[in-house]
């Protein structure tokens, strides 16, 4: 199970996946689209009796982000669970996110060498040396392309 894998992943870093953290991560994993901190909060408070304060959500999201269990989308200030919690995938190279304008779904993809090179090159021409790159690209996913094509 995904949560179990996340727990192991945390343990490897000497961190704990507590109940609250598990709850937040779970909410994100069950969402098909990115969620804001307050959206996460509301969803958490649907399921539990003891209401979680906003402060906790922010803290926990920071924690989960550090553990690479969730990613933060800076263009929208929202969070998504990592697509590679269960698998052995590591975030070696840059990670990009494809955001569907139709259904708000997100796809996490690794940067291709070509894309990284081309961007590095582009920056180079004005003397910039790139450090981090994480792109959030807007577009239309396969599903939405098909539905649109059939007039749905």
Residues near its own copies, by CB under 8 A? 74-76, 96, 98, 100-101, 107, 109, 111-112, 114-115, 117-119, 121-123, 125-133, 135, 137-142, 145
Task: Find the angle CA(59)-CA(60)-CA(64) to the nearest 5 degrees.
Answer: 125
Q: Note whether 98 and 141 are within 8 A (CB).
A: yes
> Binding to Zn ion (CB under 5 A): which residues in 119-148?
141, 144
Q: 44-65 burial, b if ≥16 CB within 10 A, otherwise e?
A: beeeeeeebeeebbeebbebbe
Binding mask 66-105 for DNA (x = CB under 7 A): -----------x----------------------------
Q: Which residues lie near DNA (CB under 7 A)?
A: 15-16, 18-21, 36-38, 50-56, 58-60, 63, 77
């Amino acid at each position: 199970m995904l949560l179990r894998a996340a727990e192991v992943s945390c343990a490897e870093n000497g961190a704990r996946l507590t109940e609250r953290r598990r709850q937040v991560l779970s909410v994100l994993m069950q969402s098909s689209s990115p969620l804001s901190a307050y959206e996460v909060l509301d969803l958490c408070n649907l399921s539990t009796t003891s209401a979680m304060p906003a402060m906790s959500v922010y803290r926990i999201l920071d924690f989960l982000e550090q553990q690479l269990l969730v990613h933060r989308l800076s263009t929208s200030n929202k969070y998504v669970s990592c697509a590679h919690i269960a698998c052995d995938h590591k975030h070696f190279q840059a990670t990009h996110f494809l955001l569907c304008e139709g259904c708000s779904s997100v796809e996490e993809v690794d940067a291709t060498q070509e894309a990284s090179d081309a961007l590095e090159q582009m920056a180079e021409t004005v003397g910039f040396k790139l450090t981090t790159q994480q792109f959030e690209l807007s577009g239309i996913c396969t599903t939405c392309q098909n539905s649109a094509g059939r007039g749905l």
